[in-house]
Amino acid sequence: MTAVGFIGIGTMGRDMALNLLAAGHRVRAYDVVEGAAESLRAHGAEVAASIAEATAGADLVVTMLPDTPQVEDVLLGAGGVRDNPPPGGVVIDMSTISPEATRRMHAALAAVGVALLDGPVSGGPIGAKNGTLSIMIGGEAAAFEKARPALEAMGKTIVRVGDSGAGQTAKLCNQVMVGLNLQAVCEALALGRAAGVDPVILREVMLGGSAASWMLDKLGTAMIAKDDQAGFRIDLMLKDLRLVGELAFSLGVPLPGTALVTSQYLDARGHGEGGKGNQALFRVYDRMTNQEP
């Protein structure tokens, strides 16, 4: 049993905290949005009124937040985790943020005796709900071992990729694939549609061979049905693609495909689809082929 302080009770965070509770861990939940943590109480969580309350007595602190500034604020801001270090001495940030900012915060927390792991996840809301996330760890091996029991309640593939920041880097590589694999589904379905092939059959037959991907499997049906309800949101993917672009630029790695995909996501957001699920990227192809709904 791990005593977990869980900070950030959004779509993903909520399901992850529920899986911790279901596995028998203690969860003390905090969110800046008043009431967000409250709904977890019925499932056995304690609700913290502050970061200090969430970290008090914790073996492990988990953060699951939108972007780099929020993580910096929670970890290093006044009244934050640095000011209220958990007794267990381990924090894992499961948000997707800048690898370079991660390394800076890792150093800042090391100075007060806290090991910061980065542990961004892949698998989307479905994976969060089912506890089948892929978790990419950066940071000290010893801290990872302390965090492992809790992580096993939330994910299925849990791999320490390397030192601090390596988990975030792996996540950004992951998002490169996510974007291009989704682009692949868009182009294949657009071509098939124009040629008069039944998209449901097309998806099925493509899943059976070398074209198969998680994206075609999990989002293909929603794309065909024009069901754009949010799972993983266009806006959040664009945040990740911005981090990818910055990392690639700083390392001098040309990513022409990802750059193109980013343009298509910007097109989607420009048409008010930022709040929709990633499968709404197919709307860009509806427009390009003049097939608006």
Judged by CB under 8 A, the chain residues 190 through 229 that form the site for a copy of itself are 190-192, 194-198, 201-202, 204-216, 218
The single residue listed with the structure tokens 């005593």 is 3
- 19 vs 175 by CB, closer to a copy of itself: 175
Contacts with a copy of itself in 60-99 (CB under 8 A)? 99
Site membership for a copy of itself, residue 22 (CB under 8 A): no
The reply to whether 171 belongs to the active site is yes
Tell me how many degrees the CA angle 133-134-140 measures, rounded to the nearest 5.
Answer: 120
3-state secondary structure of 214: helix
The residue range among 70-78, 144-152, 221-229, 253-261 that interacts with a copy of itself, by the rule CB under 8 A, is 253-261
Minimum distance from residue 38 beta carbon to a copy of itself (Å): 30
Which of 129, 146, 171, 226 is flagged as catalytic?
171
Contact of 127 with 133, CB cutoff 8 Å: yes
Using alpha carbons, select from 71, 118, 101, 122 the residue that is nearest to residue 246. Answer: 101
Contact of 115 with 86, CB cutoff 8 Å: no
- 49 vs 207 by CB, closer to a copy of itself: 207
Give the Cα separation of 244 and 258 in Å (integer).
9
Phi and psi dihedrals of 111, rounded to 5? -65, -20
Contacts with a copy of itself in 117-176 (CB under 8 A)? 121-124, 127, 133-134, 136, 156-157, 159, 161-162, 166, 169-170, 172-176
The residue range among 16-24, 31-39, 87-95, 261-269 that interacts with a copy of itself, by the rule CB under 8 A, is 261-269
Minimum distance from residue 239 beta carbon to a copy of itself (Å): 10
Please count the residues of this chain forming the interface with a copy of itself, following the rule CB under 8 A: 88
- 31 vs 273 by CB, closer to a copy of itself: 273
Instruction: Name the strand (E) or helix (H) holding 90.
Output: strand 90-93
Q: Given candidates 181, 222, 230, 275, which one binds a copy of itself under the rule CB under 8 A?
A: 181
Give the Cα separation of 215 and 205 in Å (integer).
15
Minimum distance from residue 234 beta carbon to a copy of itself (Å): 11
Using alpha carbons, select from 12, 110, 132, 116 the residue that is nearest to residue 60. Answer: 116
Q: How large is the C-alpha radius of gyration of the chain?
A: 20
User: Which residues are part of the catalytic machinery?
Assistant: 171
